[in-house]
Amino acid sequence: MGRIGYILLYTCLALVAAFQIFPLLWLVLFSLKDNAQIFSGSPFALPSDPQFGNYLNVWQGGIGLYFFNSVWITGLAIVLTVLFASMATFAITRMNWKLNKFVLGLFMVGLMIPIHSALIPLFSMFLSVNLIDNPLSIVLTYTTYNLPITIMILLGFYYTLPREIEEAAVMDGSSINRLFFTIILPMTTPVMATTVIINMIYNWNEFVFVNTFISSDEYKTLTVGIQNFIGQYMTDWGSIGATLVISIIPVLLAFLFFSNKVVEGISSSAVKG
């Protein structure tokens, strides 16, 4: 590719980046305005009097509780999903047993089932075991539905792991559990970062399950809580903007800190052998 080709390529990439970043910048500026600035001036103008109090107002108004619920529910579901998926992938790819292909097929069937098609059966099941309006129902649902995609991402990476490492560990007297937790699991850190990001995006932004299974404000997450919050601050558009900014910060930070690991994990999973 010549010099002109590189210039065109980077120009296109810069334009794409600008189109992606612009809505975020606009939302931040929007959150720092009051209603007078929003409706009287240009929507793209800088705030003449930044209203940082919008963030304090929404945090004290209840968003802090919803944010905390989203953090711990999302984090617990991610830990369980990645751990169980890693165990399943290790058993399928590194251990010889008769039903490993069949079990893998069962997990892959989960990719073809529409997520919300099981909403009513899940509600009925959780109702029968008294888990409605219990955050455990959300954690279990997130963990179960994210297992297939997580296993699929891990598969390619696990196939590339050299078996000589496992053989040497076994010859040194390592048990299966120790082999998995002290050798295999640390080696899969790059691809686990990829699965963490994917799981986080789904769990953090999920709305239907929380809205169906949770009725108490005490356990609601940001996605459902924001809906209630918008009703509370229907005329205060700056506070609504602050609420939306708070809701996207964790995902942006996750991409910022794990972006290199994500690229490394995708690259490693794409090459087998």
Domains of the chain: 52-270 (1.10.3720.10)
Is the separation of the CB atoms in 269 and 156 below 8 Å?
yes
Rg, C-alpha atoms of the chain: 23
CA distances from 26 to 32, 38, 47, 218, 222 (A): 10, 12, 11, 32, 21
- C-alpha of 141 from chain center: 14
Q: Are 142 and 203 in contact (CB under 8 A)?
A: yes
Cα–Cα distance, 221 to 241 (Å, whole number): 18
The closest alpha carbon to 45, from 35, 31, 30, 34, belongs to 30
Model confidence at 22: pLDDT above 80: yes
Question: What percent of the chain lies above the pLDDT cut of 90?
Answer: 29
What is the pLDDT confidence band of residue 264, given thresholds at 50, 70 and 90? low
Q: What is the pLDDT of residues 158-178, one digit of tens each?
A: 888 888 888 888 888 888 888
